[in-house]
Amino acid sequence: MASSLQPLATSLSPQERFQEYLQAKGLRQTEQRKFLIDEVFNQHEHFDADELIERLPRRGSPNYVSSATVYRTLREFVDAGLLKSFQLEGRTVYEHDYGYPQHDHLYCTRCQELFEFTSDELIALRDRVAADQGFRVTGHRLIIQGVCQKCSQTRRKKRKQDLV
């Protein structure tokens, strides 16, 4: 899925941040956890657990990670503040949280592409509405659904009246 955000400078790598989380919880760093954090943070993309599992080595291969371990570790990444999760069309989608700015999404309902964007105007409106209601903002998630430019152009080209 599409991404246009640039990472922010952080004092710790995702791996170091996760190690701190594990130590605080009294958990040990396993080879599977190390492999998964490298795999997840190797590229910036939105994904669900099944998409991640598809990318991983198969049973019997070196670095094999079971589906149960993937699901459990993704929850740990969220708890550690490394990933955010949200529901999109009945599936849990994950995205990088640690080291990335607050942002929102445009979602194409045809190609299912997620496009990230930041908007100072949107943040100002959010803060103004919250202040008017005496509400303290701790975060937000906005997903605007519609049809992307590419899908809009593709559909227009395929109309029968356009072929005459």
Consult the annotation and say whether 148 binds a ligand: yes
For 97-116, give one letter per residue: b (16+ CB within 10 A) or e: bbbbeebbbbbbeeeebbbb
**Two structure tokens written together for 162:** 């356009």
Angle ∠(49,51,56) on CA atoms, nearest 5? 90
DSSP E strands in the chain: the ranges are 83-88, 91-96, 104-108, 114-117, 143-146
**Coil, helix or strand at residue 80:** coil
Consult the annotation and say whether 105 binds a ligand: no
Consult the annotation and say whether 46 binds a ligand: no
DSSP E strands in 26-108: the ranges are 83-88, 91-96, 104-108
Phi/psi of residue 59, each to 5°? -50, 135
Angle ∠(60,63,113) on CA atoms, nearest 5? 105
Residue list, annotated binding site for Zn(2+): 108, 111, 148, 151
Residue list, annotated binding site: 104, 108, 111, 140, 148, 151
Residue list, annotated binding site for Fe cation: 104, 140
